[in-house]
Amino acid sequence: MSLQPYASPIERIWFWVFRVFCGLILVFLMIPVLVIIPLSFSDSSFLTYPIQGFSLRWYEQIFSAGPWMDSLKNSLIVAPLATLLAMIFGTLAAVGLNRADFPGKGLILALLISPMVVPLVIVAVGMYFFFANLGLLNSYTGLVIAHAVLGVPFVVITVNATLQGFDYNQMRAGASLGASPLRVFFTVVLPQIIPGVASGGLFAFATSFDEVVVALFIASPTERTLPIQMFSGIRENISPAIAAMATILILMSVVLLLVMELLRRRSEKMRSHS
């Protein structure tokens, strides 16, 4: 959209009002992300502006052995495993959904996506009691299963989207050349849908890495994940250590964003080739 040279004054005013409005929305979106970073370098133990002195003590605090590192470690155990589980289950299911029509397909698709829409607190309370009976409460296993459930819809959706452009004749060609179905999957299908699998995996990873409600219910202090530590930090010891961890998480989200962009480009390139 650009301003036409023959635009009337009203159109000109409207054009600029519109641009300023959009600019303000972008500021609104970005400001919380930006505002927290300087606070992590404050030397006071209260999260308030103006900052009185500069210090790296909060980074020292979160990077020294203690609850922050423990919770980071826990998240780094749970998130990759949950992601892996979600990727395996999700990719298989998406391939299956795309291969053929079968009765109840719409219903099954709705089921596979539903963890994304059911309010987290309901999932959390349900799993809390169910896992209690199975002895999965307060265990890494329970947490991994719970987070895999929450991550699965993303993998199904992204892989499903990637498969829309997939030509199944390639599989037939592979099979007619004597390759086993497994070999066809790994050498023909997977390389083409890998961007979708990976971006679904990133979503699943980010979900697990940011999930607090379910973890609050089903994890004990031993499996305390980073979001729980953040949550109780925001509620309890409101200290700039949170800002320091937040800054690191923001850096991580920049990395996620970049990887996502790379994957998107790759899958677009692939599609234009095929």
Partner 1 sequence: MTSIAATQTAAGTQPVTGLKAQLRRAERLKKIKAMLLVAPLALFLIIAFVLPISSMLWRSIDNTEVSQVMPQTATLIQQWDGSGLPDEAVFAAFAAELRDSRSGGGLGRIGRRLNYEDPTFRSLLTRTLRGLPASTELSWTEELISIDPRWNDTATWQAIQRTAPLTTDRYLLASLDLERNAEGQIVKVAENQQLYIQVFKRTLIIAGGVTLICLFLGFPLAYLLATLPTSTSNLLLICVLLPFWTSLLVRTAAWIVLLQSGGLVNAGLMWTGLIDSPIQLVFNRIGVFFAMVHVLLPFMILPLYSVMKGVSPSYQRAAVSLGAHPFAAFWQVYVPQTLSGIAAGTILVFIMALGYYITPALVGGPSDQMVSYYVAYYTNTTNNWGMAAALGALLLIVTLLLYMVYHKLVNQKQLVRS
Partner 2 sequence: MKLKNNTAKHLLTGGLLSAGLVLAGNAQALTVISFGGASGDAMQEAYYTPFAQKAGITLTPGDYNGEFARIRAMVETGNVSWDVVEVESPELARGCFEGLFEPIDWELLGIQDDLIPAAIHECGVGTFVWSTVLAYDADRLSRAPESWADFWNVEEFPGKRGLRRGAKYTLEFALMADGVAADDVYDVLATAEGVDRAFAKLDELQPHIQWWEAGAQPPQWLVAGDVVMSSAYNGRIAAAQEEGRNLEINWTGSLYDLDYWAIVQGSSHVETAYDFIRFSSQPDTQAQYSSRIPYGPVNPAAIAELSEKQAARMPTADANLEGAIAVNTDFWVDYGEELEQRFNAWASQ
Binding mask 213-252 for partner 2 (x = CB under 8 A): -------xxx-x-------x--xxxx--------------
Residues 101-140 that bind partner 1 (CB under 8 A): 101-102, 106, 108-131
Counting contacts by CB under 8 A, is residue 235 touching partner 1?
yes
Indicate whether 48 belongs to the interface with partner 2 (CB under 8 A): yes
Question: Which position has the token pair 């992204």?
Answer: 158
Please answer whether residues 243 and 47 qualify as being in contact, where contact means their C-beta atoms are separated by less than 8 angstroms: yes
Nearer to partner 2, 235 or 273 (CB): 235
Using the rule CB under 8 A, is 260 a contact of partner 1? yes
Contact range with partner 1 by CB under 8 A, out of 59-67, 76-84, 86-94, 172-180:
86-94
**Contact status: 262 vs partner 1 (CB under 8 A):** no
Contact status: 173 vs partner 1 (CB under 8 A): no
Give the footprint of partner 2 on this chain (CB under 8 A). Answer: 44-48, 67, 129, 132-133, 135, 137-138, 220-222, 224, 232, 235-238
